[in-house]
Structure 1
């Protein structure tokens, strides 16, 4: 995973680690991080895209690359920050960083390739030029 700087056009949300996020090792389960990566991308899309566009397009994951750096523990507040570094053809390349909010310690970072689908046919479709403006501007 390359070290990609945070661009000005990023989206963040806060969450608090709950008891059902914790595994038998007494820290957040790795699968939960994957869910947070996807949920953060969805929250960004819902905040950035016009409502009518949200009906016209569907995003699916092609691949995730995730690096777990430090554990998150019960009741900690986490900041999930995402941005889209590129959109080309049918593919969007998105980054997510999950940090402990109290000290900004990086706990997890992910890169995800998303494919844009037509919801009627469920076939890939080219990303419209206007879409880059929606997700790459501050919301």
Structure 2
């Protein structure tokens, strides 16, 4: 289950960028694989859910994308698995928009941290391309996309 976390003000996590969009995750037994740790498919689903939540918070919810006939499609995902997580673990997933050409593409990075010991479980990066919803063809970003991406970059402390 994904919810926005209630952060303890004493919690000091070493995030790779400032102002992460945070998703709170409690690993359930259904999230684990035969080896007893979190299945990599669950990690990918959590990354995608966090990306949707963040971009929606930046003003680009599905309703806006549908009205504009455009969306940002994932074209590449890189995941570095740094530690295992298990049923019962409480994880915090931070995400940021870290680059954009404000025309066709953007990049988003993720950092997944085990809350109990602040261990980084994974780091990931997704690259996106703006597409026309009806055809799937590459498209220039509408101004609404540019505005949201600029706000995301500024929040992450990345020069625009």
Q: Deviations over 1:41-63 (max 9, x none)?
A: 11111111255533323221101
Q: Which of the residues 22, 46, 53 maps onto 2:64?
A: 53
Taking structure 2 as the reference length, the TM-score comes to 0.75
State the SS of the aligned residue for 2:46. helix
Q: 1:131 to 1:66 in 2, by over 3 A?
A: same
Which structure has more relative contact order (CA 8 Å, sep 6+)? It is: 1
Distance 2:127 2:94 in 1: 16
What is the aligned residue count?
A: 134
Q: In the alignment, is the contact (CA less than 8 A) between 1:94 and 1:113 conserved in 2? A: yes
Unaligned runs of 5+ in 1: none
- Contact 2:77–2:126 at 8 Å: present in 1 too? yes
- In the alignment, what sits opposite 1:12? 22
**Highest CA radius of gyration, 1 or 2?**
2
TM-score normalized with structure 1 length? 0.85
In structure 2, distance between residues paired with 1:12 and 1:107: 15
Which contiguous aligned blocks of 4+ residues in structure 1 show a shift greater than 4 angstroms? Answer: none
Alignment check: 8 A CA contact 1:11 1:81 kept: yes
Structure 1 partner of 2:33: 23
8 A contact 2:29–2:87 mirrored in 1: yes
C-alpha distance in structure 2 between counterparts of 1:78 and 1:54, whole Å: 30
**48-57 vs 99-108, which deviates more?**
48-57
Unaligned regions of 5+ residues in structure 2, if any? 1-14, 156-160
